[in-house]
A and B are shown apart, each in its own frame.
Chain A
Amino acid sequence: MSTKLSRREFLKMCAGSAAAISLAGYLAPFMKEAVAAGAPPVIWIQGASCTGCSVSLLNTVHPDIKEVLTKVISLTYHPNISAAAGDLAIKEAIYKVAETNPKNFFLVVEGAVPMGADGLYCTVGEEGHEPLVFKKLLTDIGSKAKAILNFGTCSAYGGVPATDPNPTDCKPVSAVVKNVPLVNVPGCPPHPDWMVGTIAHVLLYGDIPELDAFGRPKMFFEKIVHDNCQRRQYFDNAIFAKTFGEMGCMLELGCKGPFAHCDAMNRMWNQGNNWCVGCGGVCIGCTEPQFPGWPMYERLPEMPVGPATAVTADQIGIVLGAATALGIAGHLAGNVLTGRIGPKKADKSKEGEA
């Protein structure tokens, strides 16, 4: 496979501020060449998801999404936009492609994997009049893939479906498929550039990009939202918004920016128009593994201390602090009464000496 784009240039393109240009548009000619030269096929499957990640990908308008899907990415199957349906989709577009390209195709997974009731909560097709559950489809073809690209927080870390109480027992892909390289592209939804860029990397170079400790490509997820926030100066000057719509840093309103990793503040959404904080919302930390298991509009969550009772860290601190102050006051009173401190002490020590 010959590529004109060096890896260094590619990473620079992906990691750099991409607000002014379209990553997909820039990559398209190189990708077309790679696909024409026979890049591995890509299969896209969906589990317990809201299809939001797919919709986000469709938001790539330049070049036209039709071109992205058919020429830029050698996408053989996508549940929402492929014409194939029924046996044609399951047998020909998924299983046959997987079997004829062992360890030479990339599997994109969108959505978590429901494990409860033997996977029956997510049926994706039919196999000889028996329901084909997503869990089986994923284990069948997942182990044959060269690498699995987890698009969205659900497939990467469990996300919304796996959040407590999790009645369908949803699990991230990493809990189901072992021994296959995984790339997590979290986000709720992920930015189209993160998805196109990750697919471009695996197709152009045949291997997965450099990942951080949570399995995310470093080229997109190395920055901290808080450190690059447009409202950062407010934070430094201690100007804090008390309600939405006010000027100021939104930390007190529950912004998760200080520990959320992504580059949305530079890349921006909807072809570089705006981003979460830009339109007055807080960062909800949608690219982090614990998302959405935290209160989105509160700084620190309440902690359960008993049945139907939850307290904040501050309440615990104040109660313990008051108890300590009371204890000290009580002990002080005891000390004075027993004469351990105060005027009686001098006499006592004399007694001891005598």
Chain B
Amino acid sequence: MIKKMKERHSIWIRIFHWTNMIAIIMLILTGFYIHAPQSFKLFSSMDTARTIHFAMAYVLTFGVIGRVYYAIVAKDAKNIVYRPIEDTKKLPSMLKYYLFLADDHPYYGKYNPGQKGMYTAWLVMAILMIITGFILYKPHLFLGLSGLLGGFLVVRIIHYAINWLFVITIMVHVYLDIAEGIPILKSMFTGKIPEDFHHGYHEES
């Protein structure tokens, strides 16, 4: 039996998702090597690691610009941007579901408030990473900016701390994605999801 499918992710969303994913994973791996080359021996030399790191930094920068542009033009922003009042109101029912206090959760739209919060935070984190990263990459070009943030050492700490936030949130993202169902994972490759896939119950109106 062939299941009826409907589109969940457009081709552009999938392209940006996977380019940004590759960029972020490579940035994290090379970043850990650059941070601790003695204990994180994944690359042959600093040259290799740094070349990949800076190249991927550009991929991510333009990936973020492209994704934001797409979100605005395709009116996709309403799906992913966390709205402080409306989405916070929806949080309790979602938390109850994830903490096994409820068997099901209401239908939230394309993404639940937790996902929206995480994706919005990722945008903020990515922008902070790009800014602090370029300050460290070209110290003499962004001298004034580094002063505003409290000096290069503070910039370094911000850059490193947000990296850990990325590591943790990506772990959560991948886990929840798989735990909620393989079709969701598949949809990021094919763009399609079964029409009858359960996204929470619709509240009686």
Contacts and interface: CB of A to CB of B under 8 A. Distances in A.
Interface of A: 212-214, 222-224, 235-238, 240, 242, 252, 256, 258-259, 261, 288-290, 294, 300-301, 303, 313, 316-317, 320-321, 324-325, 327-328, 331-332, 334-335, 338, 340-341, 349, 352
Contacts of B45: 236-238
A236 B47 CA distance: 5
Interface string B72-98: 000000000000000000000000001
Contact of B164 (A212, A238, A321): A321
> Which of the listed residues B37, B153, B161 has the most CB atoms from chain A within 10 Å of its own CB?
B153
Given A290-B154, A324-B172, 15 more contacts: A212-B140, A223-B140, A224-B140, A238-B49, A242-B38, A300-B153, A301-B157, A316-B164, A317-B167, A320-B168, A321-B164, A324-B168, A328-B175, A331-B175, A349-B198
A340 B151 CA distance: 49
Interface string B1-43: 0000000000000000000000000000000000001100001
Looking at chain B's contact residues, is the secondary structure mostly helix, strand, loop, or mixed?
A: helix
Interface string B166-188: 01100110010001000000000
Given A252-B38, A338-B100, A214 B164 contact: no
B133 to A, nearest CB: 13
Contacts of A240: 37-38
A210 to B, nearest CB: 13
Contacts of A316: 161, 164
B172 A258 contact: no
Given A259-B136, A290-B151, A334-B100, A340 B179 contact: yes
A222 B150 CA distance: 19
B157 A236 contact: no
